[in-house]
Structure 1
């Protein structure tokens, strides 16, 4: 079982593995009466190990068309949606994407799927001077950006919590930019009955409400 440093889904802090997906996978193992060690590896190495080492599982991974036939899939662990955020006391107009394109500064990452999508949509006002997601929301909170976009709602709440910024000071703009699902992926050598056992454990956590309780915990830190 391998994972990577990607808070708030999976990460290591003070020598401890933490995150929504870490806790969810641990709960799945408890349902299965199993206890596989979870190894945190550099991002590029996790997918290499997943592809090359028999009976390996990895989380959290976006299930995309180009990856579909490479692995066996267990999930979804969680659905992720990415929105713009602004300061709640801001009076800027943000009803449409065209409104956002007219703003002075839209804070975002310097690269990645979100930036690519925004550029395709015609955004020419992107400011990528922040060096991390945490800094993006810090700069938004002090007024350096008009709006910001970088992470899913879980990621935004995680960053605000680490910054000691009250989440009520920011407001989500209801214009969906990106939507996808995260999965537990398995090397294709993993037997189908083992994949089904993992899926059944996840399905049980969803049906008994434990999955939603864990999601609520991370959305309301």
Structure 2
């Protein structure tokens, strides 16, 4: 039963007619509301979105790393924003760095980050960026007083521990510096602590977090010399990726540059890393 509030009018017939019309209208609205409420629930929008698959490594502070079971970092935040603008759902897979580069190189529309554009890689990928910039320095344990590293020439006397497929490896080869390769920086850290390698290369923006994860303190390590190389870091997709997809990615990334989103994300992570480096 539907009731309408009484309306005051000069003639009761008008009042009666209006009341019925109001009643029918109100009942129609109630019926429509019940229909909407009883409609089967629609799937979440995120579940219906296409997936942007990304691969990366687990220890590359502050760009991509795993903490408390979550993938975090500057590049992770940029990738999330990029996926959002592409109306895609980001899925990140952690792989050994050599494997991550291979997957992105050989499969279609797979993002790999964070990547230095070196001559040995340049022709194999579509490059997006730079996303950010980095430096790479050699670090030693302060307790190893026998290591005297004041120049790149000095570094030639020692063994550097590095991650397989790292962009610094060709630089070390050109400089004549000996390198021991590990499958990951976590493995490399164990060798560093045990004295099986003398020096490790790392970005000053991430070294504090790395030594903490490694079971060391900031005061336990010492920065020695910088490795000369282009510090720009990129996102990359393999050449199998479709031209239309890459155009969309480039447009979305360009918009992030233009509206300063990229700058804000980079500034946030770089500032936090700088603060973390202080003892």
Shift of 1:132: 4.9
The structure whose RCO (Cα within 8 Å, separation 6+) is larger is 1
Q: Indicate if the aligned counterparts of 2:151 and 2:225 stay in contact, CA closer than 8 A.
A: no
Q: Under a length normalisation based on structure 2, what TM-score does the superposition of the two structures give? A: 0.58
User: Is residue 58 of structure 2 the alignment partner of residue 3 of structure 1?
Assistant: no
Q: Report the counterpart of residue 214 of structure 2 in structure 1.
A: 163
Q: Helix, strand or coil: the match of 1:150?
A: strand
Q: Which of 44, 53, 70 matches 1:16?
A: 70
Residue matched to 1:200: 255
Q: For the aligned residues, what is the CA RMSD?
A: 3.7
Quote how far apart the aligned CAs of 1:148 are.
0.6
Report how many residues are paired: 213
In structure 1, what is the Cα distance between the partners aligned to 2:147 and 2:156? 12
Deviation at 1:66, TM superposition (A): 5.3
- Among residues 127, 137, 142, which one is paired with 1:83 in the alignment? 137
CA contact (8 A) 1:107 1:130 kept: no
Q: CA separation in 2, counterparts of 1:50 and 1:92?
A: 39
Among 128, 133, 137, which residue is 2:180 paired with? Answer: 128
Q: Alpha carbons of 1:20 and 1:56: their partners in 2 closer, same or farther (altered >3 Å)? A: same
Secondary structure of the corresponding residue to residue 157 of structure 1: helix
2:93 corresponds to which of 22, 34, 40: 40
**Counterpart contact for 2:78–2:265, Cα < 8 Å:** no
CA separation in 2, counterparts of 1:133 and 1:57? 21
Unpaired segments ≥5 residues, structure 1: none
**Superposition pairs for residues 1-221 of structure 1, below 5 Å?**
1=52, 2-8=54-60, 9-12=63-66, 15-29=69-83, 32=85, 34-40=87-93, 42=95, 44=99, 47-48=102-103, 51-53=106-108, 55-65=109-119, 67-68=121-122, 70-88=124-142, 90=145, 92-102=147-157, 105-109=158-162, 112=165, 114-123=168-177, 126=178, 128=180, 132-134=184-186, 136-137=188-189, 140=192, 144=195, 147-154=198-205, 156-186=207-237, 187-189=241-243, 190-203=245-258, 204-207=260-263, 209-218=264-273, 220=276
Are 2:55 and 2:104, in contact at CA under 8 Å, matched by a contact in 1? no
Shift of 1:205: 2.3
TM-score scaled to structure 1, two decimals? 0.70
SS at 1:78 equivalent: strand
More helix by share: 2
Using the alignment, how far apart are the partners of 1:130 and 1:57 within structure 2? 23
Q: Which one has a bigger Cα radius of gyration? A: 2
